[in-house]
Amino acid sequence: MAFQRLTGHSRYMTFPSAGTIAAGSAAQFDESGEVVIAATDKTIVGINLAAATSSTNASLDIIDHGSIWRCTTFTGTYAATHIGKVCTIDAGLTPDIDTTTNADATIVNGDAVGNTYVDLVFNNAGLVRTEAGAA
């Protein structure tokens, strides 16, 4: 799996899938209300738990505020100086830890010795909702 939850509370939900979504990839809603692989600079709903296609439903672990996610596949070489910096998530699967263009996630930890993982908090994440009093 590309992304794996480290902290926060898992909340599993199922949605119709608009296309092929790999297990462990970040997912977003499309214009039809179906889930697809997340594009950069979009609201990420959750992480897909198992491979899904347009003829199946996608089961997602919904991203909650402040949850930390580990990714073992990423572009770049992690160093402690990355902590607190934003990065771009390419094609719903691969954080590019040296690209800040879309600020999809914030780096909170990583493996500076073996360069085997980075830990992230998604910046634009969660189900779309309306709250009383929110602007």
Q: Structure tokens of 10?
A: 């898992």
pLDDT-based confidence at residue 68 (cuts at 50, 70, 90): very high
**Average confidence (pLDDT) over 90-104:** 91
pLDDT-based confidence at residue 126 (cuts at 50, 70, 90): low
pLDDT-based confidence at residue 127 (cuts at 50, 70, 90): low
Contacts of 15 (CB under 8 A, 6+ apart): 29, 33, 34, 35, 45, 57, 58, 60
User: From CA 119, how far away is CA 83, in angstroms rounded?
Assistant: 9
The pLDDT assigned to 43 comes to 85
CA 11 to chain centre: 14
pLDDT-based confidence at residue 2 (cuts at 50, 70, 90): confident
CB atoms inside a 10 Å sphere around CB 61: 23
pLDDT(107) > 50: yes
The pLDDT assigned to 133 comes to 41
pLDDT(132) > 70: no
Minimum mean pLDDT among 15-24, 27-36, 103-112, 126-135: which range?
126-135
- Residue 83: CA atoms inside 13 Å, Cβ hemisphere, count? 8
Task: Calculate the average pLDDT of the chain.
Answer: 88
